């Protein structure tokens, strides 16, 4: 009898990089937007259980929080949990991203950890793809000017993803950190976008954009980013940065006059822009909207908001996509993390086995149990 080996497929940062380099960053984003759209179109709350995330927030040793975002897919017999840290001082203090994360996948037949991947790049990718998915169906089809308020990590994938579903001509951008705005054009250069990039102020962005993504690390209680400003009647905003109680980016007046679609209602009323609204001001959850688009056809004719707090369904889609590529390309490392004894009810088995080989001739069998215990 030999001990069963439980193997976990671990995808490291370099595996993820190799997948993206081989497949192509545009191809990856296009595929993800498509897969994400299908996932929302077929999302069924009876089959996929997603509780509101929970976590710890603290002021010491750094201002930040660590949260867990779980999902239970009953049909696939799997639980996915993303662990995500938000530490807005990371870039300045440690040259690390604000969002540091890993995603894990468990087998609900046994509890075994099947896979573990990066969640930093995957979060940025899936948050961009989710905005592109929502923007595609909620924005004016001829939208060509994108505004970006907050030009950190998420803004890059927001621009990339939205540029894959709209023919953008101009990007108006603003960040309140000088270094960040000065480095913005070089950070997007590798996307080879034929788009005019214009640094400007928030007022001009709100006035002239067809689509805006707000992705700032604004402090709790410091919102909104702007007061009521005249904007195009069809302006669509992806509100990405509002994801904590008291942390909001958009003015109440804009929200009240817009069609507001949360990615995850129960979470958005606690952490998203929806925390500012009464139930009667909030539209359907995004999955409900995309599954019944005709019912909400007025949305594309008025200003709209995708209240994006982050739904673990997005993490499932992106993780599965990368695990599938890893399997196809034979990438990743299979590691036995969980200790499995030969006898399932004998956790000290491994000591017995090791000792048995070494001391077989020297220790009388009757003493062996004493030694193990
Ligand atoms: N909805 C989601 O699913 C999701 C996913 C990932 C991140 N987020 C959120 O998106 C936000 C941005 O994340 P990131 O990874 O890009 O962080 P980041 O630190 O890389 O970038 C945030 C940028 O916002 C800027 N900023 C802060 N306050 C501002 C203000 N008042 N006006 C203009 N700019 C301001 C900062 O200078 C910084 O450059 C965070 O709040 C994060 O929690 C949401």
Do 59 and 153 lie in one domain? The reply is no
- What local confidence, expressed as pLDDT, does residue 229 receive? 82
Q: How confident is the model at residue 365 (pLDDT cuts 50, 70, 90)?
A: low
The preferred substitution site among 84, 180, 215 for testing ligand 1, maximizing ligand atoms within 8 Å of CB, is: 215
Three-state SS sequence of the chain: CCCCCCCEEEECHHHHHHHHHHHCHHHHHHHHHHHHHHHHHHCCCCCEECCCCEEEEECCCCCEEEEEEEEEECCCCEEEEEEEEECCCHHHHHCCCCEEEEEEEEECCCCCEEEEEECHHHHHHHHHHHHHHHHHHHCCCCCCEEEEECCCHHHHHHHHHHHHHCCCCEEEEECCCHHHHHHHHHHHHHHCCCCEEEECCHHHHHHHCCEEEECCCCCCCCCCCCCCCCCCCCCEEEECCCCECCECCCCHHHHHCCEEEECCHHHHHHHCHHHHCCHHHCCCCHHHHHHCHHHHHHHHHCCEEEECCCCHHHHHHHHHHHHHHHHHHCCCEEECCCCCCCCCCCCCHHHHHHHHHHHCCCCCHHHHHHHHC
Do 215 and 116 lie in one domain? The reply is no
- Residue 22 tokens, joined: 């081989």
Do 302 and 319 lie in one domain? The reply is no
Confirm whether 18 is domain-assigned: yes
Do 163 and 291 lie in one domain? The reply is yes
Confirm whether 130 is domain-assigned: no
Do 86 and 161 lie in one domain? The reply is no
Do 300 and 233 lie in one domain? The reply is yes
CA dihedral 165, 324, 215, 311 (to 10 degrees): 100
- What local confidence, expressed as pLDDT, does residue 351 receive? 86
The preferred substitution site among 101, 217, 218 for testing ligand 1, maximizing ligand atoms within 8 Å of CB, is: 217
Confirm whether 128 is domain-assigned: no
For range 289-305, the mean pLDDT? 89
- What local confidence, expressed as pLDDT, does residue 367 receive? 55
- Which residue owns the Cα nearest ligand 1 atom 18? 152
CA pair distance 221, 360, nearest whole angstrom: 69
* pLDDT tens-digit readout, 26-78: 999 999 999 999 999 999 999 999 999 999 999 999 999 999 999 999 999 99
Distance 125 CA to ligand 1 centre (A): 14
Residue 199 CB partners (closer than 8 Å, separation 6+): 173, 174, 181, 184
- What local confidence, expressed as pLDDT, does residue 360 receive? 47
Confirm whether 359 is domain-assigned: yes
Do 114 and 150 lie in one domain? The reply is no
Confirm whether 78 is domain-assigned: yes
For range 325-330, the mean pLDDT? 97
Distance 291 CA to ligand 1 centre (A): 30
Q: CATH number for the domain including 78?
A: 3.30.1780.10
Do 243 and 351 lie in one domain? The reply is no
135: left (phi over 0), alpha (psi -120 to 50) or beta: alpha
Do 112 and 166 lie in one domain? The reply is no
Q: CATH number for the domain including 141?
A: 3.40.50.720
- Which residue owns the Cα nearest ligand 1 atom 26? 216
Q: How confident is the model at residue 373 (pLDDT cuts 50, 70, 90)?
A: very low
Do 52 and 108 lie in one domain? The reply is yes
Domain count of the chain? 3
- Ligand 1 atom with the smallest distance to the CA of 219 is 28
* Average pLDDT along the chain: 93
Do 215 and 290 lie in one domain? The reply is yes
Confirm whether 340 is domain-assigned: no
Distance 202 CA to ligand 1 centre (A): 15
Domain that holds residue 36: 8-121+315-335
In this predicted structure, the answer to whether residue 83 has a pLDDT above a threshold of 70 is: yes
Sign of torsion, CA 340 344 346 350? Answer: negative
Q: Which residues line ligand 1 (CB under 6 A)?
A: 86, 88, 91, 98-99, 123, 127, 149-155, 174-177, 180, 215-218, 225, 240-241, 243, 308-310
Confirm whether 303 is domain-assigned: yes
* pLDDT tens-digit readout, 187-216: 999 999 999 999 999 999 999 999 999 999
Confirm whether 231 is domain-assigned: yes
Do 24 and 106 lie in one domain? The reply is yes
**pTM for this model (two decimals):** 0.94
């Amino acid at each position: 009898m030999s001990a069963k080996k439980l193997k976990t497929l671990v995808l490291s940062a370099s595996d993820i990089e190799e997948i993206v380099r081989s497949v192509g960053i545009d191809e990856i984003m296009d595929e993800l937007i498509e897969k994400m759209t299908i996932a929302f179109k077929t999302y069924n709350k009876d089959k996929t259980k997603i509780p509101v995330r929970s976590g710890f927030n603290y002021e010491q040793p750094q201002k930040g929080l660590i949260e867990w975002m779980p999902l239970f897919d009953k049909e696939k017999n799997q639980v996915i949990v993303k662990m995500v840290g938000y530490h807005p001082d990371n870039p300045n203090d440690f040259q690390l991203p604000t969002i540091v994360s890993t995603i894990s996948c468990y087998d609900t037949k046994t509890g075994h950890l099947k896979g573990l991947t990066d969640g930093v790049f995957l979060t940025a990718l899936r948050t961009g793809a989710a905005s592109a998915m929502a923007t595609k169906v909620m924005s004016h089809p001829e939208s060509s000017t994108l505004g970006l308020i907050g030009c950190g990590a998420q803004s890059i994938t927001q621009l990339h993803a939205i540029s894959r579903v709209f023919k953008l001509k101009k990007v108006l951008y603003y960040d309140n950190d000088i270094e960040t705005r000065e480095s913005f054009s070089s950070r997007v250069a590798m996307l080879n976008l034929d788009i005019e990039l214009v640094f400007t102020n928030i007022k001009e962005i709100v006035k002239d954009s067809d689509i805006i993504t707000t992705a700032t690390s604004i402090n709790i209680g410091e919102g909104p980013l702007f007061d009521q400003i005249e904007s195009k009647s069809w302006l669509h905003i992806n509100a990405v940065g509002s994801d904590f109680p008291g942390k909001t980016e958009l003015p109440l007046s804009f929200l009240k006059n817009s069609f507001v679609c949360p990615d995850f209602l129960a979470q958005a009323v606690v952490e998203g822009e929806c925390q500012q609204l009464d139930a009667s001001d909030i539209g359907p959850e995004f999955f409900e909207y995309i599954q019944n688009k005709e019912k909400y056809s007025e949305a594309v004719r008025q200003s709209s908001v995708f209240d994006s707090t982050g739904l673990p369904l997005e993490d499932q889609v992106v993780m599965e996509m990368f695990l599938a590529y890893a399997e196809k390309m034979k990438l990743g490392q299979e590691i036995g993390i969980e200790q499995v004894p030969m006898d399932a009810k004998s956790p000290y088995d491994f000591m017995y086995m090791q000792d048995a080989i070494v001391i077989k001739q020297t220790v009388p069998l009757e003493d062996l149990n004493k030694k193990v215990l």
